[in-house]
């Protein structure tokens, strides 16, 4: 009995829930990486794969606009309030009304996009990058992918309802199930059906994303039916709170679409677009594990602190999270840049992913890596604005970022830039967005950045990162004579050279990690000192 009681308390604890959320993010990134490895081996940067990636853009934007994370962040507090105040029956009635409206909007928008798909694809991906046959394939794939927002939308509502009742395990598994569907489609169907096998894997994965969460809803006593919810004031509350958040989240997706559309204007734009997406996914790996998980866990606490008017504690929590994000992402940025070639070779170069694919991936990865700290820091900054119910500020800054990315990208094209330059335009726009968010948050929380611990931590992490980059670059240059595949123009055979590449990366990575943490701690980083303290504690226990 005591053990059962302890386990029940553990499942309800915020710490345990945080571990589940972070574990879900890590598992999602790992399965996403495996997915990209398999896709790269099967398709490389072929025109068919480029069409597949391009076809995702419009349905992804539809999903973000109609539902995305914005509905969850507005639905959850209202669902909790209605459940606690009026009971589960009325809460499920409200959820039914939200479901009805979401399904209606998604069906209407999907039908409209089905009709307009040729026009939109010609607009976004016209130019020399895609042939007429390629644009026709993008159109056909886009129409198939319009099924996924419907399934993901339902899955998103299920996730919001489960999270609202402190059920986190099944929602944390859902993104990985989605990735497994794509992996299955690529391994089982693609050898016979080509890119269409992977495309159907997307639909299977989206269905799995929904179905894996259904048992949890039944355990909650789910009672859903189609209803318009007439007279329910909560629907108006959800709709009014969603509007600015939808625009804000759409800005990030629009920025990615802008970069892809400009890439389609380049010679060999289809292959370069495929490489651009591989590079973006590699940049998202540390972003998702570090920034997204830390910010997701911090957001509910920030909202509670603001509701209780504990602004000093809120500012301190933001600084702590930002310090940790920068401590983790600054060295990741340098490692992605200095080790871009060996990392891409290790993860992707096999099968159809050849030397040309490597070049088209490494060029944008170098530029995307410079966006990582700003991209990661913006995550906690934006969530802080949301926690303080200041939704308009990040929306306007996000739209400015999209416009700046577009303007810089067009300027780069007119000056003869290539895919790496377009990724750099994205990076510059995101860095400016972060700076604006820092300045504007200072106006809401005066003195938030006047903190000695924050300055010491960021300075220590920055200096340690510079030393780290110099050390790794020097070791890489010294190793070229014996390991020529560390350079972009070096020959690499993945079966023959992979073991040596893995051994070199592991050795350099371990030394680099030890150097970075030790030097950052010596320079005054509290985060590094915590890491060293934990390691010493573990070593003492082993003895």
Domain boundaries, the chain: 20-221
pLDDT at residue number 282? 94
Q: 3-class SS at 343?
A: helix
The distance of Cα 397 from the centroid of its chain, to the nearest Å, equals 19
Residue of 538 and 15 predicted with greater confidence: 538
Nearest to 465 by CA among 329, 367, 370: 329
The pLDDT of residue 130 is above 70: yes
Give the pLDDT band of residue 3 (cuts 50, 70, 90).
very low
**Distance between CA atoms of 517 and 454, rounded to whole angstroms?**
17
Residue of 311 and 127 predicted with greater confidence: 311
- Helix, strand, coil share (%) of the chain residues, nearest 5: 85, 0, 15
**Computed from CA positions of residues 239, 242, 244, 246, in that sequence, does the dihedral angle turn out positive or negative?**
negative
Mean pLDDT of the chain: 88
Give the pLDDT band of residue 518 (cuts 50, 70, 90).
very high
**Distance between CA atoms of 289 and 287, rounded to whole angstroms?**
6
Nearest to 77 by CA among 300, 390, 247: 300
pLDDT at residue number 4? 46
Residue where the block lists tokens 């920055």: 462
Identify which of 28-32, 129-133, 152-156, 438-442 has the greatest average pLDDT: 438-442
Exposed, middle or buried by CB within 10 Å (0-12, 13-18, 19+), for 123?
exposed
* Residues making up the chain, counted from first to last: 543
pLDDT at residue number 14? 55
> The whole model's pTM is what?
0.86
The pLDDT of residue 2 is above 50: no
Give the pLDDT band of residue 129 (cuts 50, 70, 90).
confident
Residue where the block lists tokens 């571990």: 19
**Distance between CA atoms of 409 and 57, rounded to whole angstroms?**
18
pLDDT at residue number 180? 97
> Can you list the alpha helix ranges (DSSP code H) found in 165-227?
169-184, 190-193, 195-211, 214-219
> In angstroms, how far is the first alpha carbon of the chain from the final one?
35
Residue of 302 and 435 predicted with greater confidence: 435
**Distance between CA atoms of 75 and 241, rounded to whole angstroms?**
9
Nearest to 256 by CA among 372, 403, 426, 398: 426
Task: Specify whether the CB–CB gap between 328 and 290 falls below 8 A.
Answer: yes
Q: 3-class SS at 245?
A: helix
Residue where the block lists tokens 């292959």: 271
Give me the phi and psi of 278, to 5 degrees please. Answer: -60, -45
Give the pLDDT band of residue 246 (cuts 50, 70, 90).
confident
**Distance between CA atoms of 249 and 260, rounded to whole angstroms?**
18
Nearest to 429 by CA among 256, 294, 250: 256
**b/e code 78-113 from CB counts within 10 Å (16+ = b):** bbeebbeeeeeeebbbbbbbbbbbbbeebeebbeeb
Task: Specify whether the CB–CB gap between 350 and 483 falls below 8 A.
Answer: no
pLDDT at residue number 64? 67
Task: Specify whether the CB–CB gap between 82 and 263 falls below 8 A.
Answer: no
pLDDT at residue number 71? 64
């Amino acid at each position: 009995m005591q053990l059962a009681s302890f386990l029940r308390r553990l499942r309800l604890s915020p710490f345990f829930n945080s571990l589940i959320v972070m574990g879900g993010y890590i598992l999602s990134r790992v399965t996403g990486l495996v997915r990209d490895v398999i896709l790269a081996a099967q398709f490389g940067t072929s025109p068919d794969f480029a069409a597949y990636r391009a076809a995702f853009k419009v349905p992804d934007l539809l999903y973000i606009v109609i539902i995305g994370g914005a509905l969850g962040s507005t639905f959850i507090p209202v669902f909790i309030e209605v459940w606690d105040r009026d009971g589960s029956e009325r809460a499920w009635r409200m959820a039914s009304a939200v479901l009805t409206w979401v399904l209606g909007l998604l069906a209407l928008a999907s039908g409209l996009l089905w009709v307009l798909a040729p026009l939109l694809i010609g607009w976004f991906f016209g130019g020399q990058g895609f042939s007429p046959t390629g644009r026709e394939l993008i159109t056909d794939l886009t129409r198939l992918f319009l099924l996924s927002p419907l399934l993901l939308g339902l899955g998103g509502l299920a996730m919001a309802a489960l999270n609202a009742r402190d059920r986190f395990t099944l929602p944390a598994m859902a993104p990985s199930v989605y990735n497994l569907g794509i992996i299955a489609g690529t391994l089982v169907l693609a050898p016979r059906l080509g890119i269409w096998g992977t495309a159907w894997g997307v639909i299977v994965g989206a269905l799995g994303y929904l179905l894996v969460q259904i048992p949890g809803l039944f355990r909650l006593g789910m009672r859903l039916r189609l209803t318009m919810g007439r007279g329910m004031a909560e629907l108006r509350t959800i709709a009014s709170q969603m509007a600015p958040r939808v625009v804000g989240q759409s800005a990030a997706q629009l920025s990615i679409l802008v970069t892809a559309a400009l890439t389609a204007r380049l010679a060999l734009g289809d292959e370069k677009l495929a490489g651009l997406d591989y590079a973006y996914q590699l940049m998202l790996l540390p972003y998702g594990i570090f920034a997204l998980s830390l910010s997701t866990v911090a957001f509910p606490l920030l909202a509670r602190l603001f509701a209780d008017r504990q602004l000093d504690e809120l500012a301190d929590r933001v600084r702590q999270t930002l310090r940790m994000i920068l401590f983790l992402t600054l060295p990741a940025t340098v490692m992605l840049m200095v080790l871009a070639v060996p990392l891409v070779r290790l993860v992707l170069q096999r099968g159809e992913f050849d030397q040309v694919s490597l070049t088209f991936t490494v060029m944008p990865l170098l530029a995307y890596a410079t966006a990582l700290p700003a991209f990661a820091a913006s995550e906690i900054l934006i969530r802080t604005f949301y926690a303080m119910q200041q939704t308009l500020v990040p929306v306007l800054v996000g739209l400015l970022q999209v416009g700046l990315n577009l303007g810089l990208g067009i300027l780069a094209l007119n000056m003869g830039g290539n895919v790496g330059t377009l990724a750099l335009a994205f990076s510059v726009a995101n860095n400016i967005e972060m700076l604006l968010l820092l300045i504007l948050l200072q106006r809401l929380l005066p003195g938030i950045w006047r903190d000695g611990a924050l300055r010491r931590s960021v300075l220590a992490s920055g200096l340690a990162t510079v030393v780290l980059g110099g050390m790794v670059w020097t070791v890489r240059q010294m190793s070229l004579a014996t390991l020529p595949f560390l350079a972009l123009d070096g020959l690499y055979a993945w079966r023959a050279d992979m073991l040596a590449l893995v051994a070199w990366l592991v050795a350099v990575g371990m030394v680099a990690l030890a150097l970075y943490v030790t030097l950052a701690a010596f320079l005054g980083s509290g985060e590094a000192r915590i890491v060293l303290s934990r390691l010493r504690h573990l070593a003492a226990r082993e003895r």
